[in-house]
């Protein structure tokens, strides 16, 4: 297990867990969000291939109403 | 902004090597041929004038209305509104400047000008030393804003001459203005470096056909190079830009419309610069050029009011070409800058010169007399209004 | 009035709508439709991990064929954050328009001019069509134009206050000086405020709170749209504002008619 931070919250995931896998665990549809990993925006196509490193900072962002 | 070749970005060379701007007032002018302007002005009605008087915004049709024949019946109202607007924007300050003519040699042959190269008249060019001496005299008289004027004379007064002269004078005067031939950005930059902060360049006429007729020979024939001069000056760092057309040359309504459009364009594009409009009106000169479209005093008043109402922030300048009586009466309508005690011949301040003047001065009052007159009308005459020492 | 064009794109409606504060996304969509709105703003936020991605995502309610979606950078407290949010928005939805909002002031949500200018410069170079939200500061508006923003968006009054055109005089100056479209944003509480802005010469208005929090947002959106149309019609009909009226004073042109003295 490794420690990561997702949207500011501590979380533990299996070593080698991918971004796509993380989203699935969180019941988040990949097409509806943008993912930033350690400050870099990830292309959606790369979600299945990107493994989460230890102490990764992940931001999962969606569009909402705003002025 | 320069590209890799060191050229001003947005500029290219014309086939003769002179600098052309990609985007300039020339672009605007293409949309406003003389016929279109004339039609707009002539079609303005009383109702349009009423509309224009109520509108605080610049709009070509409002400018046209105020310059139209229909506006003549509203002149007093225009004058009152113009006077009030000027007070709001400029207070009661009237700024004084003085011209220093350094050379009346000229390689152009402008039909209307006393310096026309085809006129056989006494010519003189002041050495830098002599020009400095004249300028020191003017400074001791109290002037702080100096206007250097010369014919187009690459032999006696090239850019290097002005560079030297301005450097020598820059500590003595709060502001130095040049009214000389147009040049490219690099040369303007040299002069800015030397200490000018102002540039005056009259298009004479914005009608390219008329322009070609009255400028038969010489570099001044290049309409566009002259037109874009003030924009190049702005790019080089000049702060104050002065424009105008020569009243009496072309149809004054049309020409004043163009001046308004030009001033507005410069205010929008060169927003760090301040724009002034002058009103040189053709008077008889050596060679006795008769103005094709004479401008009466009443026309003159209408022009000043129309431009003030549409350009609340523009300086409006009256020189000693005009009589004392007219200057005193036009002043409250919107004028913000006056010259006084002027001599239009090189060497005219320090000696009786034989040289030909560019125009005949009509207001011969001394600086003190004009200032007193201005004061008696409730205005505040000022010789130094802006301190260039903040800008090393 | 001439057609509204921003960054080369034509708009038939001068009423833009913000999508925040609505009770439901479906209501937001109906309001936008009722207003024939062609540009809406959206925001970005972290997904609430407890809830997962929303079942009724905002974006699915908006048809990009009919309406231009413009993400804002709300939440950014400085230029770096704003730039980051804009890039995230582009990555998420291909949006290359952005309403640049840098509001470190939590009390009034007033925009930081310095961070806004910094961010604008970078985002413009990065290929974004930037619409900066600013206090009604004419010099700032010019600086932003200079760096290449496609419009400027001065606030009428602080966000959510519904006070109307408190910044009227400054907005007038911005309108007079601007060479890009001016969109009055924030603080427009009543349809008449929107009409007033257009009559003054603004190119468009952005309204959010007044519509979203109305008892009947769809009706209120219609009301705003009608007000904007009324103002456009008035401008086409040649309406002009009354200027400050004259105070009587001694005649200035009498000298022209004095016998024997006037020339010409």
Q: ipTM of this model?
A: 0.86
Given a cut of 70, is residue C247 above it in pLDDT?
no
The pLDDT confidence band at residue C160, using thresholds 50, 70 and 90, is confident
Q: Edge-to-edge, what's the strand order for the sheet holding C129-134?
A: C97-100, C129-134, C153-154
pLDDT of res. C251: 85
DSSP string, B158-223: -HHHHHHHHHHHTTT-SEEEEES----HHHHHHHHHHT--EEE---B-S-HHHHHHH--SSGGG-H
C99 is catalytic: yes
Read off the pLDDT of residues C14-66 as tens digits, 9 standing for 90 and up.
999 999 988 888 999 999 999 999 999 999 988 888 777 666 778 888 888 88
Q: Residue A18 carries which DSSP code?
A: B
Of C89, C91, C95, the residue nearest C73 (C-alpha): C89
- Among B173, B183, B182, B203, residue whose Cα is nearest residue B100: B173
Backbone angles phi, psi at B98, to 5 degrees: -140, 140
The residues, ordered by sequence, that sit 6+ positions from B295 with a Cβ below 8 Å of its Cβ are: B247, B248, B252, B281, B303, C264
Contact C72 A27 (CB under 8 A): no
Quote the DSSP letter at residue A34. E
Q: What is the pLDDT of residue C237?
A: 79
Selected residues 24-63 of chain B with any CB under 8 Å from a CB in chain C: 51, 53-58
Q: Model-level pTM greater than 0.90?
A: no
pLDDT at res. B390? 58
CATH number of B91-391: 3.20.20.70
Cβ atoms < 10 Å from Cβ of B377: 14
| Chain A hits for C72, Cβ within 8 Å | 66-67
CB contact under 8 A, C201 and B57: yes
Rounded to the nearest 5°, which phi and psi values hold at B353?
-105, 145
> Looking at the complex, does the CB of residue C237 fall below 8 Å from at least one CB of chain B?
no
The one catalytic residue among C3, C66, C99, C118: C99
Pairing relationship of beta strands C9-11 and C4-6 according to DSSP bridges: antiparallel
Identify the pLDDT of residue B354: 61
- Nearest-CA neighbor of B58 among B69, B66, B50? B66
Q: Do the Cβ atoms of B67 and B257 come closer than 8 Å?
A: yes
Mutate to test the interface with A, among C29, C53, C82 (most CBs of A within 10 A): C53
CB contact under 8 A, B329 and C201: no
Q: What is the pLDDT of residues C75-92, one digit of tens each?
A: 999 999 999 999 999 988
Answer whether B touches A (≥3 Cβ pairs < 8 Å).
no
DSSP per residue, C60-113: GGS-TTTSEEEEB-TT--SHHHHHHHHHHHHHHH---EEEE-----TTT----H
**Of B51, B75, B84, Cβ closest to residue C253:** B75
Residues whose CB falls within 8 Å of the CB of residue C189, separated by 6 or more in sequence, listed in order? C157, C161, C162, C163, C164, C209, C210
Cβ of C238 under 8 Å from any chain B Cβ? yes
- Which stretches of chain C sit within 8 Å of chain A by CB? 18-22, 25, 28, 41-47, 49, 52-54, 57-59, 71-72, 74, 84, 87-89, 91-93, 159, 185-186, 206, 208-209, 212
Specify the pLDDT at position C106.
79
Does C216 contact chain B (CB < 8 Å)?
A: no
Name the token pair of A55: 């102490």
Contact between chains at C59 and A32 (C-beta distance less than 8 A): yes
Q: Which residues of B touch C201 (CB under 8 A)?
A: 57
Q: What phi and psi, each to the nearest 5 degrees, are found at residue B200?
A: -120, 130
What mean pLDDT comes out for the span C222-234? 95
pLDDT at res. C243: 45
Q: Which two tokens stand for residue B359?
A: 């125009």
Query: Residue B162 corresponds to which tokens in the numbers above?
Result: 């002005």
Contact in structure between B374 and B383 (CB atoms under 8 Å) = no
pLDDT at position B200: 98
Residues of C in contact with A7 (CB under 8 A): 46-47, 49
pLDDT of residue C217: 95
B271 → closest Cβ in C177, C242, C247 = C177
User: Which residues in chain C are contacts of B295 at CB distance < 8 A?
Assistant: 264
Share of chain C above pLDDT 70, in %: 92
C251 touches chain B (CB under 8 A): yes
Q: How confident is the model at residue B108, as a pLDDT? A: 94
Residues of C in contact with A8 (CB under 8 A): 46
Return the pLDDT at C262.
45
- pLDDT, mean of each 10-residue run, chain B (392 residues): 44 66 92 97 94 88 97 95 92 94 94 88 92 95 95 91 96 94 96 97 98 95 97 96 97 98 96 95 71 93 98 96 95 96 87 68 92 93 71 50
pLDDT of res. C263:
47
Q: What is the pLDDT of residue B1?
A: 36
Q: What is the pLDDT of residue C244?
A: 43
Half-sphere exposure in the Cβ direction for B37 (13 Å, CA):
23
Q: What is the mean pLDDT of residues C126-151?
A: 97
Of C241, C251, C263, nearest to B76 by CB-CB distance is C251
Q: How far apart are CA C118 and CA C104, in angstroms?
A: 14
CA atoms within 13 A on the CB side of B173: 33
Domain boundaries, chain B: 91-391
In chain C, what residues touch A47 (CB-CB under 8 Å)?
Answer: none
Q: Give Cα B237 distance to the centre of its chain.
A: 18
Please report which confidence band the pLDDT of residue C259 belongs to, taking 50, 70 and 90 as the band edges: low
Q: pLDDT value at position C96?
A: 94
C236: number of Cβ within 10 Å? 9
DSSP structure class, residue C211 = H
Q: What is the mean pLDDT of chain C?
A: 89
Contact flag B299-C264 (C-beta cutoff 8 Å): yes
Kindly identify which residue of chain A lies nearest to residue C23, measuring between CA atoms.
A65
Return d(Cα C53, Cα C41) in angstroms, integer: 20
Residue contact C246–B81, C-beta within 8 A: yes
């Amino acid at each position: 297990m490794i420690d990561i931070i997702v949207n500011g919250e501590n979380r533990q995931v299996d070593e080698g867990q991918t971004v796509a896998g993380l989203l699935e665990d969180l019941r988040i549809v990949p097409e509806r969000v943008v993912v930033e990993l350690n400050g870099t925006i990830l292309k959606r196509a790369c979600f299945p291939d990107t493994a989460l490193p230890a102490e990764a900072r992940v931001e999962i962002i969606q569009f909402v109403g705003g002025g | 902004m320069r590209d890799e070749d060191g050229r001003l970005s947005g500029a290219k060379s014309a086939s003769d090597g002179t600098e052309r701007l990609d985007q300039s007032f020339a672009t605007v002018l293409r949309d406003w041929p003389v016929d279109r302007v004339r039609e707009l002005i002539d079609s303005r009605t009383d109702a349009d004038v009423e509309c224009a008087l109520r509108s605080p915004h610049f709009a070509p049709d409002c400018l046209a209305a105020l310059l139209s024949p229909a506006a003549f019946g509203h002149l007093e109202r225009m004058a009152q509104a113009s006077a009030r607007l000027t007070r709001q924007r400029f207070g009661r300050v009237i700024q004084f400047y003085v011209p220093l003519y350094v050379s009346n040699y000229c390689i152009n042959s402008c039909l209307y000008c006393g310096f026309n190269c085809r006129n056989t008249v006494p010519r003189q060019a002041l050495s830098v030393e002599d020009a400095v001496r004249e300028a020191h005299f003017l400074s001791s008289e109290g002037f702080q804003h100096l206007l250097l004027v010369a014919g187009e004379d690459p032999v006696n007064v090239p850019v290097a001459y002005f560079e030297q002269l301005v450097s020598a004078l820059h500590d003595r005067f709060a502001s130095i203005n040049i009214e000389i031939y147009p040049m490219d950005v690099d040369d303007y930059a040299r002069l800015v470096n030397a200490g000018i902060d102002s540039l005056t360049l009259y298009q004479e006429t914005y009608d390219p056909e008329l322009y070609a007729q009255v400028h038969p020979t010489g570099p001044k024939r290049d309409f566009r190079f002259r037109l874009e001069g003030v924009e190049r000056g702005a790019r080089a760092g000049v702060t104050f830009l002065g424009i105008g057309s020569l009243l009496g040359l072309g149809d004054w309504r049309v020409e004043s419309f163009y001046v308004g459009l030009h001033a507005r364009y410069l205010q929008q594009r060169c927003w760090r610069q301040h724009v002034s409009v002058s009103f040189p009106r053709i008077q008889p000169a050596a060679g006795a050029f008769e103005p094709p479209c004479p401008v009466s005093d009443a026309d003159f008043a209408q022009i000043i009011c129309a431009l003030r109402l549409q350009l609340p922030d523009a300086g409006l300048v009256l020189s000693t070409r005009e009589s004392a009586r007219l200057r005193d009466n036009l002043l409250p309508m919107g004028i913000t800058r006056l010259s006084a005690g002027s001599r239009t011949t090189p060497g005219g301040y320090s000696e009786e010169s034989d040289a030909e003047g560019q125009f005949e001065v009509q207001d011969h009052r001394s600086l003190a007399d004009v200032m007193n007159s201005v004061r008696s009308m409730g205005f505040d005459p000022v010789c130094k209004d802006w301190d260039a020492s903040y800008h090393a | 009035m001439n057609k509204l064009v921003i960054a080369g794109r034509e708009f038939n409606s001068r009423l833009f709508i913000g999508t925040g504060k609505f009770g439901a996304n479906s209501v937001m969509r109906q309001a936008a439709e009722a207003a024939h709105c062609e540009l809406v703003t959206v925001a970005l936020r972290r997904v609430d991990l407890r809830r997962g991605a929303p079942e009724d995502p905002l974006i699915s309610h908006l048809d990009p064929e009919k309406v231009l979606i413009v993400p804002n950078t709300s939440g950014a407290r400085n230029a770096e954050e704003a730039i980051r949010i804009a890039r995230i928005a582009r990555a998420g939805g291909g949006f290359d328009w952005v309403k640049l909002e840098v509001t470190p002031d939590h009390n009034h949500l007033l925009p930081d001019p310095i961070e806004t200018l910094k961010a604008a410069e970078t985002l413009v170079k990065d290929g974004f069509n930037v619409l900066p939200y600013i206090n009604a500061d004419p010099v700032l508006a010019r600086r932003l134009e200079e760096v290449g923003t496609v419009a400027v968006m001065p606030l009428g009054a602080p966000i959510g206050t519904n006070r109307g055109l408190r910044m009227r005089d400054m907005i007038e100056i911005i309108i007079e000086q601007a060479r890009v479209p001016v969109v009055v944003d924030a603080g427009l509480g009543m349809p008449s405020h929107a009409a007033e802005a257009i009559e003054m010469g603004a190119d468009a208005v952005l309204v959010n709170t007044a519509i979203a929090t109305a008892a009947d947002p769809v009706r209120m959106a219609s009301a705003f749209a009608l007000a904007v149309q009324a103002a456009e019609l008035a401008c086409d009909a040649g309406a002009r504002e009354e200027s400050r009226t004259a105070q009587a004073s001694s005649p200035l042109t009498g000298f022209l008619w004095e016998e024997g003295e006037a020339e010409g």
